[in-house]
Structure 1
Amino acid sequence: MGISLQKGQKISLEKEAGGGLTRIVMGLGWDAAKGKSGGMLGGLFGGGGGESIDLDASCLLFDEPGNLVDTVWFRQLRSQDRSIEHTGDNRTGEGEGDDEQIKVDLAAVPANVKSLVFTVNNFTGQDFSKVENAYCRIINGSNNSEIARYDLSCQGSHSAMIMAKVYRHGGEWKMHAIGEVGQGRTAEQLLPQIKPHL
Structure 2
Amino acid sequence: MTPGSNLPLTAARVAVDVTAPVRLDVSGLLLAADGKVRSDADFVFYNQPAGPGVTHSAAPAGGDTITVDTAAVPDGIEKIVVTASLDAAGATFAGTEPTATVRNADDGSALASFTPPRLGSETALVVVEIYRRAGAWKMRAVGQGYANGLAGIATDFGVTVDEPAAPSAATPQAPPAPPAPPAPADHWAPPAGAPAPVAAPPAPPVAPSPAAAPGTGTGTGKVNLDKGRVSLQKNQTVSLVKGGRPLLGSVRMGLGWEPAFRGKNIDLDASVIAYGPDRKKIDNCFFGKLMILGGAVQHSGDNLTGEGAGDDEAITVHLGGLPPEVTGLVFVVNSFSGQKFSDVAKAYCRLVDARTGEELVRFDLTHAEPRTGVMMAKLIRQFSGEWEMTAMGEFVDARTVRGMVKPGGQAL
TM-score in terms of structure 2 length: 0.43
Tell me if the contact between 1:132 and 1:153 (Cα under 8 Å) persists in the aligned partners: no
Matched, 1:154 2:381: no
CA distance in 1, matches of 2:244, 2:301: 26
**Superimposed CA distance per residue, residues 108-128 of structure 1 (whole angstroms, 9 cap, x where no aligned partner):** 111110001100111221101
Q: 1:51 to 1:69 in 2, by over 3 A?
A: same
Q: CA deviation at 1:19?
A: 5.1
2:295 matched residue in structure 1: 82
Deviation of the 1:176 alpha carbon: 1.3
Asked whether the equivalents of residues 250 and 354 of structure 2 are also in contact (C-alpha less than 8 Å), the reply is: yes
Q: Structure 1 residues 112 and 9, CA, compared in 2 at 3 Å: closer, same or farther? A: same
Amino acid at match of 2:249: T
Q: Secondary structure at the match of 2:241?
A: helix
| Shift in CA distance, 164/20, structure 1 to aligned 2, threshold 3 Å | closer
Question: Which residue is 2:253 aligned to?
Answer: 26
Give runs of aligned pairs for residues 155-170 of structure 1, distance below 5 A: 155-169=368-382, 170=384
The one-letter code sitting in structure 1 at the alignment partner of 2:237 is: K
Partner of 1:193, secondary structure, is helix
CA contact (8 A) 2:256 2:312 kept: yes
* Structure number with bigger Rg: 2
AA at the equivalent of 1:157: P
CA 176–16 in structure 1, closer or farther in 2 if over 3 Å, else same? farther
Q: Counterpart of 2:279 in 1: which secondary structure?
A: coil
In the alignment, does 2:410 pair up with 1:196?
yes
1:118 paired residue number: 331
Tell me if structure 1 keeps the 8 A contact 2:274–2:326. yes
CA deviations 1:13-61 (Å, max 9, x no partner) are 2239975441110001111112xxxxxxxxxxxxxx4121111110100
SS at match of 1:51: coil
Q: CA deviation at 1:142?
A: 1.8
| 1:186 counterpart (387, 392, 400) | 400
Task: Output aligned runs, 1:27-176, within 5 Å.
Answer: 27-34=254-261, 49-169=262-382, 170-176=384-390
Q: What count of residue pairs does the alignment treat as equivalent?
A: 184
Q: For the residues of structure 2 that align with 1:16 and 1:130, how far apart are their CA atoms? A: 41
RMSD between superposed Cα atoms in Å: 1.8
**Per-residue Cα deviation, 1:79-99 (whole angstroms, up to 9, x for no partner):** 042100001000101111101
Query: Shift of the alpha carbon at 1:171?
Result: 1.1
Quick check: 13-22 or 135-144, which moved more? 13-22
Q: Secondary structure at the match of 1:192?
A: helix
Cα deviation code 1:155-193 (max 9, x no counterpart): 221111011111210210111111111111112112232
The answer (yes or no) to whether the contact 1:128–1:154 under 8 Å persists in 2 is: no
Q: Could you list the runs of 5+ residues in structure 1 that have no partner in the other structure?
A: 35-48
**57-66 or 6-15, which moves further after superposition?**
6-15
What is the distance in 1 between the residues matched to 2:393 and 2:368?
12
User: Which segment drifts farther, 8-17 or 187-196?
Assistant: 8-17
Residue 66 to residue 19, structure 1, CA distance change in 2 (3 Å):
closer
Higher relative contact order (CA 8 A, sep 6+): 1
- 1:45 is aligned to none
Q: Secondary structure at the match of 2:351?
A: strand
Instruction: Letter of the 2:259 partner, please give it.
Output: A
In 2, the alpha carbon distance for the partners of 1:28 and 1:183 equals 19
Task: Quote the Cα distance in structure 1 between the aligned partners of 2:246 and 2:286.
Answer: 29
User: Residues 271 and 333 of structure 2 are in contact (CA less than 8 Å); yes or no, is this contact kept in structure 1?
Assistant: yes
How far apart, in 1, do the equivalents of 2:328 and 2:366 lie?
Answer: 24
TM-score (norm. length: structure 1): 0.87
CA distance 1:97–1:177, shift in 2 (3 Å): same
Gaps of 5+ in 2: 1-227
